[in-house]
Chain A
Amino acid sequence: MARLRLQGIEKSYGNVHAVRGVDLDVAEGEFTVLVGPSGCGKSTLLRCIAGLEEVDAGTVTIGDDAVNNVRPRDRNLAMVFQNYALYPYMNVRENIAFGLKARRTPADEIETRVRRAAGMLGIESLLDRLPRQLSGGQRQRVAIGRAIVRDARLFLFDEPLSNLDAQLRDEMRTEIKRLHQELGKTMIYVTHDQIEAMTLADRIVLLREGVIEQAGAPLDLFERPVSRFVARFLGSPPINFIPGRLVDEAGAGLAVRCGEDAVFALPPERAAALASRAGSDVILGIRPEHITGRAHVGGRRGHFVPHRVVIDLVQPTGTRLHGTFTLAGIEVLAELQAHDVERPGETIEVLFDMQRAIIIDPTSDRVIQGD
């Protein structure tokens, strides 16, 4: 177990600048998830930590040691690869024991450790099989077993679940979370699946084109994104962006006006913070679950602003109902309750929770925090 510190990491492949100055501190025992769209440099960063790539600039520190010039084997990490990377000519037992053997662990200790790891993952009965005789989920378990059997300082996962089907992925996600709690090891986990990121992470690091866009606790990123990019990346169905303008009409306090007739007043403390921006164009970012039907606000806290809309598309999901309406020329999705709308074309009143909405500067795509 160890603290990991990255300082000013740079990595290019030819003229592709994959990682551009990443600084990151990972606390001992923390579960850190690297997310971001395809090609943003997640794998590259992970490989730099593992020592499979040399960094062009910056330092990688594990524990108290700068490991830039340390070979992968001497960094004492364990890594799980996307395609499992099981040795096809070795059975499950030999696969799991491989790292221990390479480090000359005594045979009887290898046996106990392999048994224990297999026990944790529920694969004791598979120990004598070859990888090709296993299902995808079983292979992934073996790959994870190969990592946890070693007493590594740091665990790295590169999209370990992306080759599994949805149900298995849910199962394995829970398993990995449980393993982290049992082992208490520092883990760094790469994914581009935002649900994995939200559910697993103590801390999410969102990468964009090789730089950290935002890092923090999952709910931090979800509730207080710093940019349009972060807001859109997290949350499903995705957040709505509605163009508008900050106005202070008739002294009623600061509000966002979208299109002709929609005016959404901001709660007083936010209005005060944004006062200096009055008159400027903004983008209103609001998540579908923060546009609700009248009947369901109940005791929830928030600053609800009513608006009448024509729902022109209805998608029931069971308890919820996704209703689409048009505002300021944009299709907006609202997460209503079942039976809020019976059929398309109905006009209903929805409530915009302006406490939770975010205001984005359209030129920089940054969230305006207020001053």
Chain B
Amino acid sequence: MKRRRRHSTALRFAAAVLLLVVFLFPIYWLFMIAFKTPEEIFSSPPTWYPASIQFDNFRGLFKSGDAKTVFNSLFIAGTSTLIAMFLGTIAAYSLARFRTGGENLAVWIISQRMIPPIAIVFPLFLLYVWLGWVDTYHGLILLYTAFNLPYVIWMMRGYIEDVPLELEESALVDGCTRWGALLKVVFPMVRNGLFATAVFTFVFAWNDFIFALVMTRSEVTTYPVQVTHYFGAQSNFWAKIAAMSVLGAAPVFLAVAFLQRYLVRGISLGAVKG
């Protein structure tokens, strides 16, 4: 009995390792390319790891100004996430607590999120040309905010509805204003959900390609658009692609790593339990 159990544990462990290797290998490869010299990248047979870690590829990106696109992305995604989270949370509060719009408004709002971006990007482009907002920060920030708001409202409404009404009423009687109750009682109780929602909102804006491709030219190019510039008809700039991808993946990795605690609880449990 005992023996068999030990066998099956070993088997499972082996399977897990195998799967990990399969799935992590492309990411590993990408990271390795980012640190290789051009000769190493194209050497045949390929080398598994760079002979020495060197940052020339990254240095090149910063020197040419291409790295600025990562900061564009950070700024645009970050700002639009903040705005969407703020507006979305207070809108969700209103929907949850004051029954604003009755039963149907919330569903109507989330249905906005189901529009495929490609279906609206061209009318929007014409509008943006007319407004002179193409290739501006505020243009893209506004677009992402608008696109993320329904998601934020929908998620936050669920989390807020899970907070017992009595807690808030107790705070109101105890001497809080509505805003005070929202900040001191509701906010701490939906914190996990709030962070989880913010990460998804950020990641959407961070990863968006279609809006950024159409709405930017040179000033506010975001990193996914920049990466496509390295795929050429004649040759591909593998070193740049890899280094840029590493830069682009890093913020998301960091965010998830730091917020993992909240993420797991926020996604799986609802905000209040535990």
A residues with a Cβ closer than 8 A to B are 50-52, 71-73, 75, 77-79, 81-83, 85, 87-89, 98-99, 102-103, 146, 150, 156
Contacts and interface: CB of A to CB of B under 8 A. Distances in A.
Contacts of B172: 51-52, 71-73
A73 B180 CA distance: 11
A103 B180 CA distance: 11
A102 B188 contact: no
B260 interface: no
Most A CB within 10 A of own CB, among B173, B174, B175, B185 = B173
B170 interface: yes
Given A73-B176, A102-B176, A103-B175, A79 B188 contact: no
A90 B189 CA distance: 11
A60 to B, nearest CB: 14
Interface in B150-178: 164, 166-167, 169-177
A85 B167 contact: yes
A83 B166 contact: yes
Most A CB within 10 A of own CB, among B166, B175, B189 = B175
Contact of B189 (A71, A88, A102): A88
Contacts of A71: 172, 177
A85 B175 contact: no
Given A71-B177, A79-B173, A99-B174, 19 more contacts: A50-B169, A51-B172, A52-B172, A72-B169, A72-B173, A73-B176, A75-B173, A77-B173, A83-B166, A85-B164, A85-B166, A85-B167, A87-B188, A89-B188, A89-B189, A99-B175, A102-B171, A102-B176, A103-B175
B169 A52 contact: yes
B169 A73 contact: no
Contacts of A81: 166, 169-170
B174 A73 contact: yes
Nearest to B172: A72
Contacts of A150: 174
B104 to A, nearest CB: 17
Contacts of A83: 164, 166
Contacts of B272: 88
Nearest to A73: B175
Interface string B120-160: 00000000000000000000000000000000000000000
Given A83-B164, A85-B164, A87-B167, A78 B185 contact: no
B270 to A, nearest CB: 13
A265 B175 CA distance: 61
B188 A73 contact: no
A146 B166 contact: no
Nearest to B166: A85
A156 B172 CA distance: 14
- What are the 5 A-B residue pairs with the smallest beta carbon separation, nearest first? A99-B174, A102-B175, A85-B170, A85-B166, A72-B172
B174 A98 contact: yes
Nearest to A98: B174
A246 B91 CA distance: 67
A46 to B, nearest CB: 11
Nearest to A74: B175
Given A83-B166, A85-B164, A89-B189, A50 B173 contact: yes
B61 to A, nearest CB: 44
Contact of A102 (B164, B167, B180): B180
Contact of B177 (A73, A75, A82): A73
A72 B189 CA distance: 22
Contacts of B167: 85, 87
Contacts of A98: 171, 174, 184
Contacts of B171: 98, 102
Contacts of B164: 83, 85
A238 to B, nearest CB: 32
B165 to A, nearest CB: 9
B180 to A, nearest CB: 7
Nearest to A47: B169
Contacts of B184: 98, 102
Interface string B74-100: 000000000000000000000000000
A25 B167 CA distance: 29
Contacts of A79: 169-170, 173
A102 B174 contact: yes
A163 to B, nearest CB: 12
16 contacts: A50-B169, A51-B172, A52-B169, A78-B173, A79-B170, A79-B173, A85-B164, A85-B166, A85-B167, A87-B167, A87-B185, A88-B189, A98-B184, A102-B171, A102-B184, A103-B175
A109 to B, nearest CB: 15
A292 B173 CA distance: 50
Nearest to A50: B173
Nearest to B167: A85
Contacts of A82: 166
Contacts of A103: 175
B175 A52 contact: no
Nearest to B170: A85
Contacts of B174: 73, 78, 98-99, 102, 146, 150
Nearest to A84: B166
Contacts of A87: 167, 185, 188
A103 B169 CA distance: 16
Contacts of A50: 169, 173
A29 to B, nearest CB: 21
A98 B175 CA distance: 9
Nearest to A146: B174
Nearest to A156: B173
A72 B164 CA distance: 18
A87 B166 CA distance: 10
